[in-house]
Chain A
Amino acid sequence: GDSVTQMEGPVTLSEEAFLTINCTYTATGYPSLFWYVQYPGEGLQLLLKATKADDKGSNKGFEATYRKETTSFHLEKGSVQVSDSAVYFCALKPSRETSYDKVIFGPGTSLSVIP
């Protein structure tokens, strides 16, 4: 079945460091891919998305590129801030448009940024 795998956390970085959170997926066809972020005590917010191969999603300095050949959607940011401390979830929605398919979430990666 379809699945999402993320690098295990927690990840601890100093402010202004470069961030990479790896995400790989297993799915048939061309799923849509997402990164969601969950700040402490809150619900999930959509951070960015990509709906087809080679698309790059970007938002708030974060980027991720849909790589069909490596089935990956790694999250990157050039310079993290303390306010980026949160849990990041990679997710996919299968591409079968004629019937319902639920969004599948990865286990989440906790990021702590220290001043």
Chain B
Amino acid sequence: NAGVMQNPRHLVRRRGQEARLRCSPMKGHSHVYWYRQLPEEGLKFMVYLQKENIIDESGMPKERFSAEFPKEGPSILRIQQVVRGDSAAYFCASSPNLQGPEQYFGPGTRLTVT
């Protein structure tokens, strides 16, 4: 059973470009979470999605950031017009259902904005 997959593992963008990060949850998991980890800091929750629904986006910046989890295909975290402060590791996690306590993490995408 493959784990949570994220791609790309490393992404370099120039200021003003768009970054698209993809996450495929574990098979059978319908809940996806995105986190951001800044250098030397802990994990910060960004958004929680189920298929075709955003459940909680309280941790996501109001501008430039968006997320989706379509009926088919991976979850996408999109950052428009990136700035240097967006440089971070972005982690996706999935869980099978609402009651399941633990989450399973992907290896992360390391975004560098030059």
Contact = CB atoms under 8 A, between A and B. Distances in A.
A108 B107 CA distance: 17
Interface in B88-114: 91, 93, 98-99, 101-108
Interface string A97-115: 1001011011110000000
B69 interface: no
A43 interface: yes
Interface residues of A, number: 20
Given A43-B105, A43-B106, A102-B33, A97 B42 contact: no
Contacts of A93: 101-102
Given A42-B107, A43-B107, A49 B101 contact: yes
Nearest to B44: A105
Interface residues of B, number: 22
A44 B102 contact: no
B52 interface: no
Contact of A105 (B4, B43, B55, B107): B43
A105 B33 CA distance: 13
